[in-house]
């Protein structure tokens, strides 16, 4: 606990008194201020480009990839799935509304009835199930295509996660925040160690991106994922990335869309509130 308190302190995320828990709004302000102090030469929105904002070589490679984006065909596939009627004649529009550009910004959202965080991917599969369709697999393939299409349609809009003033919603937020700052795995590192404290530094040969803006461009097409998959589909969801980073920590990954990862996403996306959506994107 002491270690977590020190780390929270280093990120500016600390209560005014020992008892008071800072509100999400206070956390957000401290989080942003911390990164702006750390990278004074970079505009806030530039940070969402991750390591491409920090290193010229990565930037050039990334810009070259974005000229003929390898994710484009998946955005098209996502559009086709969005438009394709289910067997019962309904479609995604019956769950999400007719305008596909208005969906991405609503997620993740707090479901007060079921007392849980609903991510975009969870909502996509719940829509399918409610209409008698088989749910998609969680981390890649069709779910990532639909999510990429909805992200693409929302490009230019700002992340806008709402944490209602409801004790259960705040509990989920605090749970996600704790997960983010807790050390784990054989390396005894937290998400915050790599993406807050050491952001901009190298760890075992890898340059580390700032957590601020992390979520703006998911799902992401990764060269690494494309090389690994037999089908050459390199597109993956945010929870696929969480699993990969837990492995980087030499820790056990959790299941995509498990409660832990949904709560983590609630905190993680909230910290990028106000930043511009630029999904999907290319990463190494």
Active site residues: 245
Task: Determine which residue in the list 58, 79, 241, 262 makes contact with ligand HEC, applying CB under 6 A.
Answer: 241
For residue 259, the minimal CB distance to ligand HEC (Å) is 14
Look up residue 29 and give its two tokens: 């302000």
Q: Which of 283, 265, 276, 255 is nearest to 107 (CA)?
A: 265
CB of 235 to ligand HEC, least distance (A): 13
- Within 258-277, the residues that bind ligand HEC by CB under 6 A are 268
Site membership for ligand HEC, residue 191 (CB under 6 A): yes
Long-range contacts for 195-204 (Cβ within 8 Å, ≥24 apart)?
Answer: 196/7, 196/10, 196/11, 196/34, 197/7, 197/10, 197/11, 199/35, 199/38, 200/38, 200/39, 200/54
**Of 177 and 195, CB closest to ligand HEC:** 195
Asked whether position 203 contacts ligand HEC by CB under 6 A, the answer is yes
For position 101 contacting ligand HEC by CB under 6 A, the verdict is: no
Distance CA(80)–CA(284), nearest Å, equals 27
How far is the C-alpha of 140 from the C-alpha of 159, rounded, in Å? 22
Q: How far apart are CA 116 and CA 262, in angstroms?
A: 8
Binder among 248, 258, 273, 276 for ligand HEC (CB under 6 A) = 248
**Closest distance of CB 94 from ligand HEC, Å:** 31
* Token output for 148: 């990429």
Number of residues that bind ligand HEC (CB under 6 A): 22
Mark residues 48-87: x for contact with ligand HEC by CB under 6 A, - for none: --xx------------------------------------
Shortest Cβ distance from residue 251 to ligand HEC (Å)? 8
Query: In whole angstroms, how close is the CB of 17 to ligand HEC at the nearest point?
Result: 28
For residues 263 and 88, what is the distance between their CA atoms, to the nearest angstrom? Answer: 33
> Which of these segments, 59-67, 85-93, 142-150, 205-213, binds ligand HEC (CB under 6 A)?
205-213
Q: What is the dihedral of CA 255, 257, 258, 263, to 10 degrees?
A: 130
Whole-angstrom distance, CA of residue 220 vs CA of residue 210: 16
List of residues contacting ligand HEC (CB under 6 A): 50-51, 187, 189, 191, 193-195, 203, 206, 208-209, 214, 220, 241-242, 245-246, 248-249, 268, 283
């Amino acid at each position: 606990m002491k270690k977590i308190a020190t780390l929270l302190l280093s990120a500016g995320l600390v209560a005014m008194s020992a008892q008071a828990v800072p509100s999400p709004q206070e956390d957000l302000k401290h989080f942003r201020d911390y990164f702006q102090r750390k990278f004074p030469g970079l505009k806030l929105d530039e940070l969402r480009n991750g390591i491409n904002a920090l290193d010229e070589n990565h930037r050039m490679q990334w810009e070259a990839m974005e000229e003929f984006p390898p994710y484009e065909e998946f955005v098209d596939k996502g559009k086709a799935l969005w438009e394709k009627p289910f067997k019962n004649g309904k479609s995604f529009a019956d769950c999400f509304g007719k305008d596909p550009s208005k969906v991405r910004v609503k997620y993740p959202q707090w479901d007060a009835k079921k007392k849980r965080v609903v991510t975009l991917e969870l909502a996509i599969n719940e829509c399918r199930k409610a209409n008698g369709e088989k749910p998609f697999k969680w981390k890649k393939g069709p779910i990532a295509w639909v999510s990429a299409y909805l992200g693409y349609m929302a490009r230019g809009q700002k992340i806008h996660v709402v944490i209602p003033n409801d004790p259960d919603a705040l509990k989920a937020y605090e749970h996600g925040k704790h997960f983010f700052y807790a050390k784990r795995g054989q390396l005894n590192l937290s998400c915050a160690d790599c993406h807050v404290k050491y952001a901009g530094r190298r760890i075992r040969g890898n340059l580390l991106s700032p957590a601020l803006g992390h979520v703006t461009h998911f799902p992401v097409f990764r060269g690494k994922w494309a090389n690994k998959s037999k089908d050459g589909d390199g597109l993956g969801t945010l929870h696929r990335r969480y699993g990969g980073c837990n492995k980087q920590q030499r820790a056990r990954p959790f299941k995509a869309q498990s409660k832990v990862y949904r709560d983590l996403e609630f905190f993680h996306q909230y910290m990028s509130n106000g930043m511009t959506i630029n999904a999907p994107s290319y990463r190494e």
